[in-house]
Amino acid sequence: MCDQLIALSGHYSRQSYPELLRRIRYKVPDTGKTLVFLSNHKTLPALTICALYKSRWEIEQFFRWIKQNLRIKSFYGTSENAVKTQIWIAVSVYVQIAIIKKRLNLEMSLYTFLQILSVTAFEKMPLQQAFAGTEYSMSTEQVCNQLNLFDY
């Protein structure tokens, strides 16, 4: 819609950033929504800047999805490899849980499914019984080859 060079007019903002900025107003063809972008890049075409902002928004949405669904609140490492590894592990777990949920034909949301799994993670029972709501009694006839930590 328009591509303008503007200067910040506030006293403190003008002191902090005295250079001209580029103001681009864009109307989304699908929705008719008007978006305004500010940029300090003066050589790229206006549509390229709009596309960059759209890509940036998609990245923000992806990180929001990661926080909500993969339960990553912070990263354990700061290197690129550490962040990628943590995301791939979380995505792998998410996909495995989605596959299990589908194979068990569960109607509950993936969030509820994960909540139940986190509570019953150390229970020794088949997954079907954890979600069927039936009581599970462990057979005493089972041979257990696991050592007891507190058996002196």
Same domain, 44 and 79: no
Q: Report pLDDT digits (tens) over 85-100.
A: 988 888 888 888 888 8
Confidence bin at 3 (pLDDT 50/70/90): confident
**Residue 128 is assigned to a structural domain of this protein:** no
Distance CA 4, CA 9 (A): 15
Burial 15-37 (b: 16+ CB within 10 A, else e): eeeeeeebebebeeeeeeeeeeb
pTM equals 0.49
Same domain, 95 and 110: yes
- The confidence score (pLDDT) of residue 136 equals 43
3-class SS at 57? helix
Q: Find out whether 27 and 34 touch, Cβ atoms under 8 Å.
A: yes
Same domain, 1 and 22: yes
